[in-house]
Structure 1
Amino acid sequence: MTLHPSRSVASATCKALRRYNASAQSVACRLGQPVRQLSTSLARNSEAAEAVESATEQQVRPRWSYTPERMKGPGFSINVVKDRSRTVWHNNEDPAKLDAMYNRLLGSKGDRMLPDEIKWLAITHKSFDQGRRGFNTRLAYFGRLIVSLETTRHIIVAPVTARDPPRDPFGREPFQHSALANIDKLNTRQPIDVVSKEKLAKLAVDVGLPEVVRWKPRMPENLDASGMTVVLNTALFAIIGAISLQHGAEVAQQVVREKILRRLGA
């Protein structure tokens, strides 16, 4: 008979482990306590429980109100701040104040035109929280195109005061047609003349947008030099872009005509 010492040792070890487990279970049953099973998945279970707990906590808090944990840095900044007073800046966190601004801008029930998350995103500049909560750059680009298109259309269809044509020394009369009457209007008036940055910034101040817009000025003691006019224009354009994506182009064009161009005296 050929001897296999490795197999005999392995079988003896397995038999000893079975006897130990059986005796341990019998003792545990007599003591009335459950047997604790050792498993390598304990660490994974604890990590999964922590992930579920953090996900539940994030569901309770709205997305606009906190910075995602994975986007936070190591706790320090590599930027050397020369003036510590410029790092202090407080932004609005009151939803009621934000809804009041939307009602002043869009009219009654204007705060219901957009979801809560989009309402905060539209007034968030990329300088706020280093852009980690989202920002309104792409919405503003889309909204700027809508405002420019609607302003151009308004200039073209606006009636022109009748003027006497210049006299021709040879007594000739130029050809007149209703289809050609609007061609030369954009030579005398451009959309930027109607919706300039200064006019839009004044409109934003009238509806209370500076009190709710989220941004971080470079110089809190001088907001104009920090680019507040551009920030307010960007927020207005972003609101129009968000309305277009939420309700369609027709609603966005109506908002531009009634809530922006009419207020600017166009």
Structure 2
Amino acid sequence: MALNSSRSTLSSACTALRQCRRHASLSISPISISLSSRQLSTTPARCVGEQAPSLEQLSQTPSEKEPTSERSSKPRWSYTPEGMKGPGFSINVVKDPRRKIWVVNEDPAALDVMYQRLLGTEGNRLLPDEIKWLAITHKSFDFGRRGNNTRLGYFGRQVLAVESTRTILVSTINDLNGPIPDSYGRTPFSHPALTNADKLNEVHPQSLIDREKMASVAVDVGLPSVMRWKPRLPENLEGSGIVAVLNTTMFAIFGAIALQHGSEAAQRLFRDRLLSRLQHKR
């Protein structure tokens, strides 16, 4: 019984499909065929009597069509692009309006002083102006509309992790306790090529680039006063995650140097300008 019902359903479906195909073939007219064969135009429609644009006007870019007086002479880091601004209102309702007020540095001279303290007397000339501002801009600033240092921070973290591991492997570490005796009296395998690898059992790369130490060095060079970010609680910066933001910014600076000048330059600056300060932190 069920088999017969399924057969009847299939036959009725096939009949309906054939009828739809027959009606579709009859409804095609020469007008629709001619419309389908026409090419689509990307130029806007013109009114009757309007003069067609010349070849020079079509070849101009949108920026060239705008008058020079309307172009902004400000650097890219100093303003929010008009195309990224919202409709003029925000759906973010803040319980305390005072928390929306947070002033960041806009003085390039103050930023150069920080780079000189961190990277040396010529540290402010190692990066272009746009990259210098991008490296110290957190994603919480201006809703991320001026760019942020998240990807630079991730890349810089990997560069410093590799250099920290290399520093441990080439350093001299005295094992005061000696080899750990085996409870079964076995002799562990030893080889000269594995001597440096055993150093990682005593000192970890995370201990060299500790979060608290990195944040302390960032405070010493004056990074909090020039860093662009928006804390969630302006009255409680530690609760807003300033330690994590300072670490990301420090990593982003060295990540930008590695991309601009190569990993060797970033590793040399890490050993000369940052590692010595980190080792003196307790």
TM-score by length of 1: 0.76
**What do residues 70-121 of structure 1 show as CA deviations (whole Å, max 9, x unaligned)?**
0000100011121100000000000000000000000011000000000000
Aligned match for 1:178, one of 171, 192, 203: 192
Structure 2 unaligned regions, length at least 5 = 1-48
Identity of aligned residues (%): 58
Q: For structure 1, which segment, 199-208 or 174-183, has the greater mean C-alpha deviation from structure 2 after superposition?
A: 174-183
Correspondence 1:1-266 to 2 at 5 A: 39=50, 52-53=66-67, 57-58=71-72, 60-161=73-174, 163=176, 164=178, 177-265=191-279
Residue 175 of structure 1 and its aligned partner are, at CA, apart by 6.6
Residue 262 of structure 1 and its aligned partner are, at CA, apart by 1.4
SS in 2 for 1:240: helix
In 1: Cα distance, 2:212 partner to 2:152 partner: 20
Residue 183 of structure 1 and its aligned partner are, at CA, apart by 2.1
Stretches of 4+ aligned residues off by more than 3 angstroms: 38-42, 48-51, 53-56, 162-178
Alignment: residue pair count:
225
Residue 64 of structure 1 and its aligned partner are, at CA, apart by 0.2
In 2: Cα distance, 1:151 partner to 1:76 partner: 47
Distance 1:174 1:53, change over 3 A: same
Residue 192 of structure 1 and its aligned partner are, at CA, apart by 1.1
Residue 169 of structure 1 and its aligned partner are, at CA, apart by 11
Distance 1:62 1:86, change over 3 A: same
CA root-mean-square deviation? 2.8
Distance 1:241 1:56, change over 3 A: farther
Q: For structure 1, which segment, 188-197 or 120-129, has the greater mean C-alpha deviation from structure 2 after superposition?
A: 188-197
In 2: Cα distance, 1:86 partner to 1:170 partner: 63
Q: For structure 1, which segment, 216-225 or 251-260, has the greater mean C-alpha deviation from structure 2 after superposition?
A: 251-260
In 1: Cα distance, 2:87 partner to 2:146 partner: 18
SS in 2 for 1:262: helix
**What do residues 34-88 of structure 1 show as CA deviations (whole Å, max 9, x unaligned)?**
xxxx84679x99xx69952378622x11000000000000100011121100000
Q: For structure 1, which segment, 159-168 or 148-157, has the greater mean C-alpha deviation from structure 2 after superposition?
A: 159-168
Residue 223 of structure 1 and its aligned partner are, at CA, apart by 0.4
In 1: Cα distance, 2:51 partner to 2:183 partner: 102
In 1: Cα distance, 2:184 partner to 2:84 partner: 76
Residue 172 of structure 1 and its aligned partner are, at CA, apart by 9.2
**What do residues 164-221 of structure 1 show as CA deviations (whole Å, max 9, x unaligned)?**
5568999998775532221222122211111111000000000000000000000000
1:239 maps to amino acid = I
- 1:3 corresponds in structure 2 to none
In 2: Cα distance, 1:76 partner to 1:162 partner: 63
Distance 1:183 1:81, change over 3 A: same
In 2: Cα distance, 1:139 partner to 1:49 partner: 30
Residue 258 of structure 1 and its aligned partner are, at CA, apart by 1.3
Distance 1:170 1:50, change over 3 A: closer
